[in-house]
Amino acid sequence: MIRVYFLAAALGTTMFAAVSGEEVFKQRCAGCHEQNNPRIPQVDTLRKLPAARILRTLNWGVMGNVAYTMSIAEREAVASYLGTAAPSVTVAPAAFCADRAVRFTSDAKGKTPQPQWNGWSPGINNSRYQSIQAAGLTLDGVQRLKLKWAFAYDGDTTAFAQPTIIDGNLFTGSAGGVIHALDAKTGCIRWTYDARGPVRSSILAVNTGKGYSLLFGDQLGWFYSLDAATGRELWKKKIEEHDAARLTGSPVEYNGTVFVPVASWEENRAISADYACCTFRGSVAALRARDGAPVWHTYTVDVPKQIGKLWGPSGAPVWSAPTLDIARGLLYVTTGDNYSPPATATSDAVLALDLKFGKIVWSRQLSAGDIFSGGCSRQGIACGPDFDFGSSAILVNTGNVRSGNRDLLLAGQKSGVVYALDPARKGEIVWQIRVGKGSTNGGVQWGMAADGQNVYAAVSDLARAAVRSSDPADLRTSNLDPNVGGGLHAIRIVDGAKIWSAEPQHTCPENRAGCSPAQPAAVTVTPGIVFSGSVDGHMRAYSSEDGRILWDFDTAREYSTVNGVKGHGGSIDGPGAVVVDGMVYVNSGYSRQNGMPGNVLLAFGTD
């Protein structure tokens, strides 16, 4: 009998536990995989697959809905019990560049860098604005964009790691946990690295004086540093020992310290009737960039205590990249909802943390009393409304004498409301405007963009319709409504006035499951152009002046890929377009939230 032994931290105490892969299979998997259904892989078939591939399917693949309630140890145990020790994927020799060297043309101090996009946003204010010089793309050029190459993530059904581009080198993670270093112009592979878990976090490249180190987190709570030139592991640290921890938001770095946001999937684990909800606490960890040594670690809620059958407080995860305010010595983060009572004042909020010591200087809550988990109704807790923040705050200066030439923090919430806060007055609300209805998957989902004059907010408002199927292989409990959701809005930063609105596009073909006009993906802006992706698979470029569509590409199709792996596009959700040196890079495929699966990174250019 195969058992996986793991070390777990529960409420500050350490314990050892053993999990039997055979027992997990009998309890969780046998009901389907021992049936004679041609759509469901039989046990004999599973035993021929690499355990690593089975695990990636559980972690972030088609079996994700089933694995929501399983611990990491249970996933690893059942994968080891069923699968082989063979590698999950192998890279064909033809997929590698003829010259596999990674070179950087900027000098050691980074004074003459080439056009780049580093991490979640080109700048530390998280505006997702790319200058005309770095973008290399004009209004005329965007209308001439053509597909240059497609790269497929082998074995994946989701493409959700936004690429980083430094000096013609492209670095990106994958749902399978593989980090790829590619040539940004051709898509050929220079090197790969296998992380322990799925990598959704954008990679941050930090100049070391001799080159670059690459910093990123995975969906199991591990944080890494790699040598950008070779892919060699420099160090890795387990940021948070809680079993449900995940590092989704991208890190940021300042003066040798890297700041890492910490979120979790514990609210999904609470679906299980035997799960004691909930003990995870959102946090931000500060590490020394050169070796991962801890600097400080600040939690968003207090240590949970047992209250009847529940534990609390819990939750308030940090899903998105922190925002640096060097002038004030502050780090701004947005937080999610609480998972269990009591509700805290730091959930659904914007927090300001001291850069040096991590102390919470001030907190501005924008939705009070929001407690949400997969088991809240079963546990007798009033659910929702699940209006947490999944997007980063944007720090801008109004540059307007009438408004006092002041700084503002712009925050878009799943409630469908966009806020402007005054960082000089502890986050006091300056203006607010509603752009969407808001829901669990509604409002502003993953990120806005700002160009100094306007802030651009895309709306998700994803809607579902019930699905009732007698087929046990059909894991869907709902399908997406092809007529509800979406829209893009331009809001004047100075006073919150709406400048224009672009209506959602209704392009879903009949019977295309997982298609929706919702626009949850992060927005990107360059001078005159706003990019916004949709669950229907389209990436569109809008005029920042009036919202008219300048370019529209349907990514939900099959591709011949540069690495020879079968590629298919799907829904666009999570990361946004990356625009560098006349090229536009788009990830396509998002199988969660009932979206269309896909596994491709697409590169568009004009020449």
Closest CA to 415 of 499, 483, 349: 349
* Confidence (pLDDT) at 65: 62
> Does the pLDDT of residue 272 top 50, yes or no?
yes
Q: How many CA atoms lie within 13 A of 537 on its CB side?
A: 25
pLDDT at 24: 76
Please name every residue paired with 215 in a beta bridge, in sequence order, or none if there are none: 204, 225
Burial of 549 (0-12, 13-18, 19+ CB in 10 A): middle
Torsions phi, psi for 140 (to 5 deg): -70, -40
- Checking if the pLDDT of 3 tops 50, the result is no
How confident is the model at residue 110, as a pLDDT?
52
Angle at 458 between CA 453 and CA 463, to 5 degrees: 160
Q: What is the DSSP string of 461-488?
A: ---EEE---S-TT---SEEE-TTS---E
- Interval 95-115: pLDDT, tens: 999 999 999 885 445 554 567
| Gap between the Cα atoms of 195 and 589, Å rounded | 21
Average pLDDT over residues 472-497: 84
Measuring CA to CA, which residue among 204, 207, 112 is closest to residue 165? Answer: 204
d(CA 174, CA 164): 13
Average pLDDT for 248-267: 96
If you average pLDDT over residues 71-75, what whole number do you get?
Answer: 75
Say which amino acid occupies 400: N
- CATH 3.30.200.20 describes domain 102-605: no
CB 390 within 8 A of CB 446: yes
Q: Which residues contact 508 (CB under 8 A, 6 or more apart)?
A: 482, 483, 515, 516, 517, 536
- Distance, in Å, from the CA atom of 268 to the CA atom of 132, rounded to the nearest integer, reads 42
Sign of CA dihedral 593, 595, 601, 604: negative
Q: CB within 8 A of 326, min separation 6: which ones? A: 124, 254
Closest of 86, 84, 55 to residue 71, by C-alpha:
55
Residue 16 has pLDDT above 90, yes or no: no
In this prediction, residues 117-127 reach a mean pLDDT of 96
pLDDT tens digits for range 170-181:
999 999 999 999
- Phi/psi of residue 65, nearest 5 degrees: -65, -35
Q: Which residues make up the CATH 1.10.760 domain(s) of the chain?
A: 3-82
At 91, is the pLDDT very low, low, confident or very high (cuts 50, 70, 90)? Answer: confident
Asked whether residue 279 carries a pLDDT value surpassing 90, the answer given is yes
Instruction: Report which of residues 66 and 553 the model is more confident about.
Output: 553
Mean pLDDT of the 440-445 span: 94
Delimit the CATH 2.140.10.10 region(s) of the chain.
102-605
Q: Quote the pLDDT of residue 112.
A: 46
**pLDDT at 586 exceeding the cut of 80:** yes
Partner residues linked to 408 by β-bridges: 396
The Cα 451–Cα 519 span in angstroms is 20
Classify strands 257-264 and 283-288 as parallel, antiparallel or unpaired. antiparallel
Q: Which amino acid is at 324?
A: L
Q: Is the separation of the CB atoms in 270 and 293 below 8 Å?
A: no
Distances (CA, A) of 293 to 231, 238, 256, 296, 520: 21, 11, 11, 9, 35
pTM of the model: 0.91
pLDDT of residue 4: 39
Phi and psi at 394, nearest 5°, equal: -115, 125
Identify the CATH class of 3-82: mainly alpha
- CA-to-CA distance for 315 and 335, rounded, in angstroms? 9
